[in-house]
């Protein structure tokens, strides 16, 4: 393997049994089972959002994703409902007994996001925002660190090292596709990064198939591959009515599709002795 692990003193795996298990309100991530996180790209105030959370919780999924601070390519695109979005997210999550996964974009918002989130997401575009990473190292909440779309696996590990080195040991790595010459999908999922990361680091590794492929119809098949290749979970954009989603609707699967996918994952998981949670 072409990764120099010499500087990765806190992220590297010391022996076969070395793993970080992150316990969030009794749900364990990285303990050998497959954790699903699902929800829309952006939090909104419609009934579709409450329906989505209700259905996701009913399927037995415990983690609800949704952005209140959105990293948009264009300054004219919807930027998220910010603090009002976080309050809405908390309300919906509480009603449906869901844990919250939500993104922080800026060092100035860490305190408020940490107040509402059960897992704080660092998006692909911020993977090498080292000041943000160092500040998140001081926070008492797990960090979901997404791989930048132009970053190597080694750079992802170095970014995780920043967070661990600053004191926060609870980091979940997330492969979400990288830019290649292939334009027919939004990104190219680096599927080999998953077993590679599992071999070299003790941190949990999950995958975002939605941003990796950018096409809703491809998400179920790719999620099955993610399970088969040994990931600790997946974070999926799902919504009760994808047409009405405020961001990334082309890649958002319906909750109906999510239910069918969940059933398939349970079948595959049985063969692998992996529980889908
Ligand atoms: C997201 O998960 O909402 C997101 C913006 O993803 P990424 O940072 O991977 O592009
Ligand atoms: Mn999105």
Q: Is the CB of 214 under 6 A from ligand 1?
A: no
Residue range 103-132: average pLDDT?
98
Interval 31-60: pLDDT, tens: 999 999 999 999 999 999 999 999 999 999
Q: What are the structure tokens assigned to 179, written together?
A: 């830019």
Ligand 2 centroid vs 206 CA: distance in angstroms? 16
Ligand 2 geometric centre to CA of 193 (Å): 21
Q: What is the pLDDT of residues 128-187, one digit of tens each?
A: 999 999 999 999 999 999 999 999 999 999 999 999 999 999 999 999 999 999 999 999
**What's the 17 CA to ligand 1 centre distance in angstroms?**
31
Residue 237 Cβ contacting ligand 1 at under 6 Å: no
Average pLDDT over residues 92-116: 98
pTM (predicted TM-score): 0.98
CB 152 within 8 Å of CB 160 = no
Which single residue is written with the structure tokens 């090292």? 161
Alpha carbon separation from 160 to 43, 119, 144, 145, 203 (Å, rounded): 27, 15, 10, 7, 9
Ligand lying nearest the CA atom of residue 145: 1
DSSP 158-199: HHHHHHHHTT---EEEEE--B--S--SSSSB--TTHHHHHHH
């Amino acid at each position: 393997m072409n990764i120099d692990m010499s500087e990765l003193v806190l992220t590297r795996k010391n022996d076969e049994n070395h793993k970080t298990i992150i316990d969030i309100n009794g749900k364990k991530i990285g303990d050998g089972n497959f954790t699903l996180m699902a929800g829309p790209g952006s939090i909104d105030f419609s009934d579709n959002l409450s329906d989505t959370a209700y259905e996701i919780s009913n399927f037995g999924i415990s983690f609800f994703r949704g952005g209140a601070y959105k990293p948009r390519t264009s300054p004219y695109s919807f930027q998220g409902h910010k603090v009002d979005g976080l309050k809405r997210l908390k309300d919906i999550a509480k009603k449906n007994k869901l844990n919250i996964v939500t993104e922080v974009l800026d060092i100035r918002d860490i305190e408020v996001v940490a107040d509402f989130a059960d897992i704080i997401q660092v998006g692909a575009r911020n993977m090498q925002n080292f000041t943000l990473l160092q500040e998140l190292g001081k926070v008492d909440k797990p960090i979901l660190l997404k791989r930048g779309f132009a970053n190597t696996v080694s750079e992802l590990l170095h970014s995780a090292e920043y967070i661990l080195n600053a004191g926060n040991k609870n980091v979940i790595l997330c492969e979400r596709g990288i830019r290649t010459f292939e334009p027919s999908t939004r990104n190219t999922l680096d599927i080999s990064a998953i077993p590679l990361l599992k071999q070299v680091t003790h941190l949990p590794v999950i995958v975002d198939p939605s941003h990796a492929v950018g096409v809703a119809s491809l998400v179920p098949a790719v999620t099955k591959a993610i399970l088969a290749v040994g990931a600790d979970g997946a974070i999926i954009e799902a919504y009760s009515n994808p047409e009405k989603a405020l961001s990334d609707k082309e890649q958002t699967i319906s909750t109906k599709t999510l239910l069918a996918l969940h059933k398939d994952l349970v079948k595959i998981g049985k063969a692998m002795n992996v529980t889908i949670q």
